[in-house]
Structure 1
Amino acid sequence: MRPLKLRISGLNSFVEEQVIDFERLTERGLFGIFGPTGSGKSTIIDAITLSMYGKIPRNSREFINTNSISTSVSYEFEIGIGAERKRYIVERNIKKDLKTGGYKTTLARIREMGEKGEKVLCEGDREVQKKIAEILGLTAEDFTRSVVLPQGKFSDFLKLTGKDRRDMLERIFGLEKYGNNLLKKIREVKNEKNLILNRVSGELSRYEGVSSEALQEMTKKLEILKGQEEKLAAEKNRLDLEKEKLKAIWEKQQELNQYLQKKELLEGKIEEIERKKVKIKKAEKALSVKPYIDAVNETNSKIAQNKEEVEKYTKELTVIEENLKKIEKEYDIALQKKEEKIPLLIEKEEKLKRALQIQKEVKTINEEREKLLKTYRAVEKEIEKLKKELEILSNDIEITKKVLEDKDKKIEELKISSGQREKIFSALEVQKEFERIEKDKREKEVKIFELEEAIKRQQKEHERLKNLIKQKEEEIQALEEKIRNLEGHMPPTSDELLIMQQQLEEQKSKFLEAKENDELRQNIKGILDEISDLKGKLKEQIKKLEDDIKTKSKQLENLTKEIEEIQRQNIAGELAKDLEEGMPCPVCGSVHHVKLAQKIDEELINEKRAFEEIFKREIEEFQNQLLKLKGELVALEAKEEFHKKEYDRLEEKLKGIDIKAFEQNVGQLQLRFEKAKLKTERWNKEKEEINALLKKLGEEKAQLDLEEARLKESLGKDVKALKELKVSVEELSRAYSCILDQLESLRTELEIRDFKQKVIEINEKDREVEKLQKESELLEKKLEELVNKKEILSNKINELLIKKAQIVEIGKEKSKYLQERQKEIDILSEGKEIENYLKEVQRERENILKEEKILKEQFENEKKKRQETENKKVSALENQILLNNMLKDQFEKLNASISKNGFKDEKEVMECFLDEGTIKSLEEEIKNFENEYISICSNIERLDSTLNGQRIEEEVWRNLEEKIKETEQALTEKRKEIGATQKTLEDIQNNLQKVEELTEQKKELEQLLDMLEDLDKLFQGNHFVEFVATRQLKLITFSASKRLKEITRGRYALELDSDNNFVMRDDFNGGTRRSVDTLSGGETFLTSLSLALALSSHIQLKGRAPLEFFFLDEGFGSLDSELLDVVMTSLERLRNDKMVVGIISHVEELKNRVPVKLIIIPPSTAGEGSKVRIEYS
């Protein structure tokens, strides 16, 4: 992970938002963060951690700046390698909760920045923490250890030894899970497996009675049922073939009966169809007359309508003339009234408006007077109130002065001299040291007793373990002898069994192939017989169709010639129709026409053509059927050829093979193989059981050896510890006597027995003095405030008295002005109420003007209406003349059309009239009837020809269907019985398999539980955790040593001694090894730095991607110039493209060595927060 940008506001010493551009800051690999103490250098790290994990490394509860109500942080970074590298922005906003005094996260969000824009990955405190841990692969604790190497803690890890260092490694690398946690998991798994073992044992008891004999009996029953099923299936196939042969005849027969019924129905409708043809002809003639009738009717309607309009306009003109005279008279009166009264009303209106304006001014002055009166009363009330407050304040000042004097006296009484205080506190330290030595001595004496008892128990247990080991060795020797005897009587090997099985499978495969080929040969023979029958039938059908086509073609040819002859006669008849005696014939030129040709009825020609179309369709249909049948014949011949070849191939393949003898031979081979296999399985099982027992005994012996070695080692450690404790107790006894004498001397001198109690009393007095001093300070502050308040109140009272006098003077002036204005209002309004009088005058003026305007508009409208009505009447009279002339012309055309189309009158035309839709519907009905009749006749002829006299009785067909149904039902029932039997067989097989699986599972569980029991014993204590911690320590030491050699140009290396404590190896001094306690300050720093970086790297290995940077927050101020130069040179060597190093310091000398610097400017006294800027060397 590489930081790109950080935004901070409201955090610790930062107030306004500050932006830190890490891309500039890290561009040269090494950077520094500089500023005075308290400027906010470490807050940079706090902000990064807070943005990602919602907490800061120092666990401060007061991290929001006192001048801010919230803090905001936004951290942008990149992570990943190559194409997998991604950019993220994580933001947080944390606000003070004023109700609870705590903090509340109001915004927590992480966004991914890509080429197509940003995408919000998640929101919410916990979700963001979880997502960051997923991206980095590090928790908050891992991150702070990886990023920050804290001040003053470098050498702690280097100088830790034994349990303290092991505990630290256990904590850092989370090894707790390999101690009690892992032991707990082992016991949980053991309990779980015990429960499963009990369940498996319970399940095995459910399968009592499941045997291979029941399986064989059910297998035989299934074979019998399958034989019965095969017979029923064969019978059903025979019946299906018989039905298939008769099905075509039965279907054609049913189809023919349906067509005959339809033909009978159609023949009953022929007379009705002929009547409809006549009706259509009359309707077509009436259709040509109908437009003339419609025109006459429409014109008559228009004439009547026009007459009504002329009468209506005449009446309207009479009414309009009367109204016009009346309105003209009313308008003259209204105009005269307007000219006389309007000027007087306007003058009166102006006076009233002036009076109204003055009245508003008076009202405003009255309101101001009321306000002045209210203000006057409020001022009087406020003066009284302030006088009372002034009196109370004077009393409070006197009381506060008296309380302050009392507290000062009490403080002087409680104070203790500094000399006495110092002696008592020194004596307390001596007493504490005495109690510590006494407690340590007592604890070690108890530990000596416990160790002596433990050594006795361990010696007894050690002897018991040696006896058990000897017993296990004897049992192992006996089992090894048993295996040697077993290997002397070996059955067929697995290779020999495999060869036997391969031979058996080969014979089985050949037998199954031969049996399958024999069944296939029989099936193909049946198919060839069926194909031969079908070929004979197809050839007969093809011959019949060819004869039918010849017959129909001949009939069509004769009919075509007949139609051509009729058409020729019809043309001659058409020409003869217009010939008159004496006029030349257009064909022969003769003027005498002795015998004229007659025109043949059109219906006869149409009938002949209809039959011509029927013959053509029938021939086409016969040709299609012929083509289809020939195609079917070709396909059958190809199918027959294929099956013949297949039959010959199978015949050749089965030559010389006896199926029954082959089957017996395979059975004998199967029996020999099963016997050999069973013998081998028993031998292998016996050997496996012995080997398992031997393995178990070996594991038990190894466990006992391990326990014996551990016990021996523990016994040696305890004996050594006992000696060390006894020496330590002797030293403590001497120190105990010495310090007891010193304590008794101090008690006598100061006359105090319990210095702890005395110090408690002193502290209580100090606290009381401090409390009294704080109370005095508050009282002094209160007294000052009371005096200030008294002065302020006196000033306020004086100001209010002046204000009261001013209000009285202003009130007098406003009363005089009001009296003068009221007189003027009375004159202008004539003593009436102004607003109502003004409205009355305005209403009268508006009514006069409105009346005049309305009457004028009415007069003009009536004149306009009279002219429009006169124009309409003239137009209607002209239109009447035109319509009468049009009606006469239309009657002449109608009578001519009625005569031409052979109708008597208009009534007859309307009786025969049908609309075009009805005519078209009738024509469509006639056409459909004729087409359907021709189609039915054609299908009857086709089906008679196809059946060729063949018929099937309905009873025969129904009996066959019933028999097939019964056979199908019997076959279904038999298959259900087979399915049920097969299910029972499968259940028995499954149960047998389940018993085998459960037995195997039980065996595995018992073995697993044995191992878990061993692990339970192994993980008691913390032995495994010690082993893992030591392993981690060696890895860290190796990495640290490599880094130390690089920094020191190959001089120093770091190693572990036999007790796993750190030692320094000096390769420039013959590889001399030195304890870390003997190292100089510079050597300690370099070694600690290497070790801390190695530790940080191992923590980072837990992450999914490298962090690419870390901060070094170290107290460089304690280093001299030479050592500082060594440290900076070392850090400069660490930086590269993949690692950025940052240091945090307030030491000015470092600035010149760092290429890029982030300068932190501390907060100002004016309330501004810390500021940042980037500088380059």
Structure 2
Amino acid sequence: MKPIRLTIAGLHSFRQKETIDFERLCEGGLFGIFGPTGSGKSSILDAMTLALYGNVERAANQTNGIMNHAENELFVSFTFELQHAEGVKRYTVERSFKRADALRIRSVVSRFIEEGNERVVIADKTRLVDEQVKQLLGLEMKDFTRAVVLPQGKFAEFLSLKGSERRQMLQRLFHLERYGDELNKKLKNKLADASAKLEAIKGEQAGLGDASKEQVEKQKQALTERKEALERAKNELRDIHERYEKEKQLWQWQCEKEKVEQQLDEWRKQEERMKQLEQTYERSKEAERLAPYIEQVERSEKEVAHWQQKAKERDAQLQQVRTMYEQASKQYEQCRAKKNEEEPKSLQKQEQLKQALQTLALMRSLEQQQAKLRASLQEIEEKEQEARLRVDTCTQEYTTWSAKQAELKKQWEEKKVDVHVKERLEQVDEKKKHIQLQRQALEEIEKEKEEKLKTYEAMKQTYEREIKQMKQLEARLAEEFRHVEWLYHRVCEREKQAMVLVYQWKEEKKQMEAARLHDLAATLAERLRDGEACPVCGSTHHPNRAKRQQVALDEEALERIDRSIQIGEQLVAAIQQIKMQVEQLSEMMVRHPLPQRVDVEKVKREVEEAPLSSLKEIEIEGKALQQDYIACRDRMYRYIEKWNEQKQKEQQYAYQMETVRQQMAELEEKCAERRTRIEQEKKMWHEAYPDVSFEQVDDIVRNLRKREQEAQQLQQRIEKSVTVLDNKRAELEQWKETYQEVIKQKAEWTTEWNMQQQQYEQYKQTLPEGMDEESVKQQLIRIEETLQRVKREEEEAYARWMSLQQQLHTLQADKQAADVALQEGEKRKQEAERMLAEQFQKTVFKTVDDVLASRLDEQTKQQIAHDIQQYKDILMKLQNEWQRLNEAMNGVVMTKQQWEETMCAYEQAKQQVDEHMRQLGSLEAIVADLEAKHARFEQLHQERMQLEKLVGQYEELQKVLRGNSFVEFIAEEQLVHVTRYASERLGELTRQRYAIELDSEGGFVIRDDANGGVRRPVTTLSGGETFLTSLSLALALSAQIQLRGEYPLQFFFLDEGFGTLDQELLDVVMTALERLRGEHMAIGVISHVQELHARMPKRLIVKPAEPSGKGTTVQLEVM
């Protein structure tokens, strides 16, 4: 991060808008911000934090009292750059505030802008701008003021932080939160996702049903048989299709031929009209060939008439112009003679009058100059009197101001404040403000703790509601599981009944077959004759012949029983399939035990009360059981899914409650630490300043500042009086010089007036008596008018003469050209009439009127030609088409009845193939579904084993990462690196006397290598040693901070501490800082120490506000 530009207006002592160009200021790497105490140096850092975070660290409630008391608006704008691997991006944060009351302000405008070819507003609301800055930089405001911009009172805060607070700060600075809450959250989400997937796989396995290998093979066999039947149907369709295509083509040709013959008859009826159109078209073409000759004759006749008229007009015009030319020539000669006679006399008189006019003008000029000199002499006399009066007045004022200055110096000596007293009271005031800030921080922590408690109570109520809903879902699941168990027992009983019924039908069939066999034997016995061999046993004696039974055999009943047995076995298989599916649902009962089992005997009684007695009842019962299974399965999956979601919510709320409880414990610890710190600081304050009451500090400081302000105002008045005295002295000297210059100027102007008066008298004697300027001008005007008139008359006569001469020549040439053109036109007329007569002899036309009557316009000719050509083309096309169709048919003719019979046979064959294909597609879908289910079951089995292993690993990892132990471990590692780097810096600054180490609890200790390496707490350090140690830690943090883990930190600000260093340590610190500026970092030092002023290559001078109302101003100085 690199600062570019900061604009401030209305903040603290800044009133008008001031802009600081950090881009130039940071070019050398090291710069200083200097100015007297209270000038507004620290307000520059306040403006940075206000622009970025909307708060000021040292202000009450972060913003109270930061607006200039004389302003009602506050504006800050901070432009900075972020550099990373992709390049450099520039951003600007702008904020405007307005006064709410005497202390508080309210935000009006907040904007976060990305600079580039065009300015893009990324955020335009206060909350969004705050979030954008924190997201982009990755630092909270308190981290920014501890490691990047160190304002007054914050320099050594990181050094004295407790272990937990330091670890939390390091987590934010180095973005370790991704190893804590974020990692636990990701792990929890992973575990929840894996558990949900595992439950989903178990449910999916249960819902796949019977996908055994035997079932797949059985359906494949049925598929093969259906494919063979389809192939036979396709062969029959192929034979019929060949005959169908041939007859279809023949029928199309036959229909097309009849249509072509009808069209030929229609077009042949137009043959006579086409012949007439051809004759009209040819006659118009012949007329068009003669048309140019007729037009040529007409044009030549018009041309001859035109030139005859032209020649006649030119003769009349020529005669008239010749008469006018002779008159103009005489008039010109008269005008020229008159001009030669009058012009010389008038010019001589004109010259004499011009000389007299010049003399009169010189006299008038002298009169004007004398009038100005008289006025100037009068004015110079007035200035003489004024200058004499001013000299006396300035002498008196200078004496008065000298006395006032002496009185102001006396008052300033009385009001002057001792520097040591001022510094001590400022320290007292600063310590009190620090304690008050600690109290405000404690109140904020307690407020946050109360908010966390409210959040915990709300979460607890929500958690209890979720537990209640989960128990309700478990009750519904238990009910559904009891229904599954009831359904299973019912399916089993119905399976037994169906099997018994099928068994009865089989026994009945056996009896009927035995009866039919006995009947056949009786028929054979009736045909036996004594002495004839039996066809069964060959015996010729038949003592015991079979007797025919009285019951008649019914072949149809036997067939019905066969069909019932076949369909009954299929229905039994379907019920067994339902039984298997219900058994798969029952597997889920293992994970959710029933609080109460189903009464199996009751289910048996219900089934026995409504036994199955027919095939129709078995079929209806099978469908009912299937519907019960589907409805039950859907409800179970839905409730299990809801139960899993509810279980996940319950775990999530439990985790959140535990997190909030831990946060509350941490806040309680912070409150205790903050209270202890406040008591310690108050105790230290009373020990350090026993003579100053804590409650009276504000009044004492207010009186001191009032006295200091009065002294400052007196000092400014003294400085102003010095300037006034200098001005009065200069004014007195100036008026003395002015008086001498006025006396000298008066003498010069008097001499000049006398000389001009003598010259005027000389000019007056050269003019005739009574001549004035007006009469001379009138005479000159009359002479000039005479000269102009004579000249104008001559020029007009000459112009008229020359114009008529030119017209005469032009008309003579036009007359000659018209005569020649007339002769040529008559020749062309004769030639055109001859050619037209020759052409008439070659055509059928007799007169010009016949030709004109036969001509047609171009559109009509094109239409006739198009109609004739279209007739010929269509007739030719139809004849060719009839010939083609006749040759294709080859004399074969087909009736409509024959064609319809062929179409009917073809459609029947197609329908048969389609039916086979539909059944084949259904079987293929069944086989594919069974194969997919079988493959899916095997795949789900593998995935289930992997997920069970993964869930176990996640649960083990969750146990390991519980709490913040992993984050604390990484933070400790980062702290070790920071401490090692800071120790190297501290060694450089203290000539290897001190080093920084970590104790067993993660706190800082100082190793004093000059005293044998003894280790002591950081609280035993002096002010200068504390500054050097804090500086080393701050430099180490800044060097290793990467904003958001990707942007390097390119600047660092110090706002205190240098006043506690002696000259030798000051040189060491400055040498170290100058060495750091070459490490890609700009360092800014804010101080009033004069020794630093000379060491800085670039300086920003902060000038304090003036009593006149002008606010703080800044100025850039370069060495």
Q: For this structure pair, what is the TM-score category when the shorter chain's length is used for normalisation?
A: 0.3 to 0.5
What is the TM-score normalised by the length of structure 1?
Answer: 0.45
Normalising by structure 2, what TM-score?
0.47
